[in-house]
Each structure stands twice: as structure tokens, then as C-alpha cells.
Amino acid sequence: MNNWSGFYKKTRDERLNVIKEANILDNEHFDLLNNNKILDFETANNMVENVVGTFSLPFSVVPNFVVDKKSYLVPMVTEEPSVVAACSNAGKIVERCGGFSTTIHDRKMIGHIALYDINDVEATCNLILDNKELLLKTANEAYPSIVKRGGGACDLEVKVLTEDNTSFVVAYLIVDTLEAMGANMLNTMLEAVKISLESLTGGVALMAILSNYATRSLVSSRCEIPFSNLGDNGEYLAKRIELASKFAQADTYRAATHNKGIFNGIDSIVIASGNDWRAIEASCQSWAARDGKYKGLSTWTCDLEKQVLIGELTLPMPVASVGGSIGINPSVKVVRAMLGNPDAKTLASIIVSVGLAQNLAALRALVGDGIQKGHMKLHAKSLAILAGATTDILDEVVEKLRAEKHMNLATAKEIVSTYKK
């Protein structure tokens, strides 16, 4: 039996011991974690341009996070206080109700080629569709290794879009990128198809590029929480969470913050997993505006008959288990090992569930006590550290700071200075 309880109160050594005893990591990955092995300069210097160093962020874990009946130790990389605690808290509530269950709707990427200077756009669309098989063959010949692995270009769609008296014929290439996110894969295929399309249609290609609006990579996560699991006033709280969900559909001002809360969790695990978090943000933020209005991404409803609160979150989640910098960064290797080296679909399921957990924690606090109660405690800690409080005096400084009327850096510095006399 592993001792995860009170994990947050343990020292780093104690936390590492719990992880070791749980046999989650083999010796190689445990040593990387234990030695806090991070990206070395030489590797970093080969990854991007003008490198002058490496940059660190806190690396935390959330234990007992249950997705599709499997318990995970979820890695999170974030600088924001309270994100990890909130995910842990909500994860625990959902774990007691059977965990999150997920559905992968599809796992394909879309890229497009925009053509202009076309006389008869309708006829051009038909011409492109008539040559679909040939164009797919061109795409696959441009990147044969993905076809050998069992993936590749599988469909092509066409649309006419008009903006300010300019018409574009846009060809959308749909590709099964298997375990990769597929940006480079698609871009290579699209450039080859672009040349064929120009000679086929006589139009001029404006660009050929992957789209981050990954509507063919949707993943849903769901949880059902009996009202009684939300505390003494569970039904009241559940109804208010349902109202908060409606409010985030109605008001874009609220939707932006509602979704930011979801991304507190999602970005933390996406960054930890070595995936391109800008791509995931772009995907999901555009999905939030799919009806022409930016809305909250999750929904919460009460089933009064069953006395349960039902949470649902569907997002495009084209994360990868290979490619990009995933195999390069030692911290990412540890993260992947921690999660049991998940394939792309499993990783996506865990990530969307983390988003739903993060949203539950935020809404529960917001419609309950408000978020400042928990936040201010963590804020006090950040202020104390900023003011120079060392570990030996940190807890005392935080306690004194919280008792002050004005909790700010100046007050924190004053308190810290009393220890230096």
C-alpha cells in the first residue's frame, strides 16, 4: 500500500520515496528525477536559436488521478500557485466517484492550401474533387514513412471562401499522423500537393500549411459526481456549478476566465509532456468560438433524479507521443515514464480530464467560498519568498503576513526584516 496521503505536506525526499515505493519509475527515470536532471546547454543550443541558457519552472505531481479506470501520477509544470492543489483536490473528488471516462472521436490532422485568381470557383472545386485520389497519392508519396507506419493522407475536402471581394478555393488535406502531432509531416505533404493543385487548376497558391484548428482530433472527458460527494450543501453547490456553466456560455467576459482556468491544468501537463502548448492553445481557443461566439468550453449539468452533477469537456487535443522535442528533453522522458509512456490518444484523454478537474476545482471555489480564500494563502507565500524569506522562516512569515490588513510586498519585507535584526 503506497502512502500518498498528505503528499503535499511531505519533504521532497519523502515524496520521492513514495514515488519509488510505488514502482512508477524504473531506476533510470527515477535517477533522472532524483538528480533533478534538466535539459543541458548543448542540447538546448541545438533545439532553438540564440540560446544563452536554460530556464526552469516548478515540476509537481498529482497522485491518484483516475482516467478510464486507470490511476495516474499526473505531472504538472506551472509557475502559478494553487493550480496543482486545485487539480489534486478535484481529482480526489472524482476518483471517489469512479474517475473520468473519456472518448476519442478521431485523431487526424488537417492542413490547407489556399488558391486565388480562379475564374470559375465552382468548376475548380469539382476539378479538385475529381482528382482527389491522385492528390492523396501525391501527398503520401511526399512522406512515405507515415504510410509505411499505417497512417498518411486519407481525405481531401474543398471550400470556397470569399472575403472583401476576393475568393479563395481552399483544399483541406486530412492526414492520419498516428503518434505524431504532424506539423512537419503535413507541411511537407501540402507543399507537394500545392504544386499539383496549381498546375491542375491554373490558380495561384497563397500558402500551404497545417491548421491548428484540429476539429478531427476531438476528445471528450466526462465525470459524474453524486451531490453528497460535494459536501454537506452538495446539491446547492452542484446547482450553482450548473449555473456557472450556463453563465460561461452566455458571457464572453466570463468564458475567457472560465477557459483560462481549464488551461491552468491543460498547459501544465502539455508543457510537462514536451508538446507544443501554443498549438494546443490555438486549437482549443478557436474551438471555443466555433459557434461564432467565444464560449465556455466545459458544461456542468445536474441530474436531479440521480442526484448527480455531470461534467463534460470536449476539446481538440492533437498531442503527440513522438516528434518535436519529446525524445530530447530528459524531464519529458521522466514525465512520459511517470504516465506509463502513453500513446497519443491516452495522453490526450488524461490531458482533457485534467482540464475538467481544474475547471471543477475553480467553479467549486468560485460558487462556494470564492477563490481568494485559498489563493491568498499561496499569494502570501509568493510574497514572502519575493521579500527574501528563507525556508526556515517561511511558514512564520506567511502566517504573520496573512494576519496583516495590507498583504503586499512592502509588508512582507517589513516582516522579513524583523528576522534579520
C-alpha–C-alpha distance, residues 202 and 196, integer Å: 10
Q: Least Å distance between CB 270 and ligand NDP?
A: 11
Active-site residue, selected from the candidate residues 95, 267, 276, 333: 276
Distance from the first to the final alpha carbon of the chain: 48
Please say if 40 is a catalytic residue.
Answer: no
Q: Which helix (H) or strand (E) holds 130?
A: helix 121-130
Active-site residue, selected from the candidate residues 260, 293, 306, 373: 260
Tell me which residues touch ligand NDP (CB under 6 A): 145-146, 149, 177-185, 210, 212, 276, 279, 320, 322-324
Contacts of 111 (CB under 8 A, 6+ apart): 172, 173, 175, 186, 187, 189, 190, 208, 209, 210, 211
| Closer Cβ to ligand NDP, 146 or 362, answer by number | 146
**Which cell goes with 395?**
511558514
Closest CA to 339 of 353, 325, 328: 353
Contacts of 15 (CB under 8 A, 6+ apart): 7, 61
Q: Least Å distance between CB 136 and ligand NDP?
A: 17
Q: Least Å distance between CB 326 and ligand NDP?
A: 8
Closest-approach residue to ligand NDP (CB): 324
Please say if 251 is a catalytic residue.
Answer: no
Give the strand order in the sheet containing 308-316: 101-104, 218-226, 308-316, 298-303
Active-site residue, selected from the candidate residues 37, 70, 246, 375: 375
Q: Least Å distance between CB 110 and ligand NDP?
A: 11
128 within 8 A of 156, measured Cβ to Cβ: yes
| Closer Cβ to ligand NDP, 66 or 270, answer by number | 270
| Closer Cβ to ligand NDP, 261 or 316, answer by number | 316
Rg of the chain over CA atoms, in angstroms? 25
Q: Least Å distance between CB 214 and ligand NDP?
A: 9
The phi-psi region of residue 264 (left if phi > 0; otherwise alpha if psi is between -120 and 50; otherwise beta) is: alpha
Q: Least Å distance between CB 183 and ligand NDP?
A: 3
Please enumerate, as own/partner, the contacts of 15-24 that have beta carbons within 8 Å and a separation of 24 or more. 15/61, 18/63, 19/61, 19/73, 22/73, 24/73, 24/337, 24/338
128 within 8 A of 169, measured Cβ to Cβ: yes
C-alpha–C-alpha distance, residues 285 and 7, integer Å: 34
Q: Least Å distance between CB 191 and ligand NDP?
A: 12
Q: Least Å distance between CB 207 and ligand NDP?
A: 12
Closest CA to 364 of 72, 85, 96, 77: 85
| Closer Cβ to ligand NDP, 190 or 401, answer by number | 190
| Closer Cβ to ligand NDP, 144 or 231, answer by number | 144
**Which cell goes with 230?**
460535494
Please say if 343 is a catalytic residue.
Answer: no
Could you identify the residue written with the cell 481538440? 316
| Closer Cβ to ligand NDP, 220 or 283, answer by number | 283
| Closer Cβ to ligand NDP, 179 or 242, answer by number | 179
Please say if 260 is a catalytic residue.
Answer: yes
Closest CA to 82 of 376, 383, 348, 399: 376
Active-site residue, selected from the candidate residues 10, 20, 70, 80: 80
| Closer Cβ to ligand NDP, 75 or 111, answer by number | 111
Active-site residue numbers? 80, 260, 276, 375
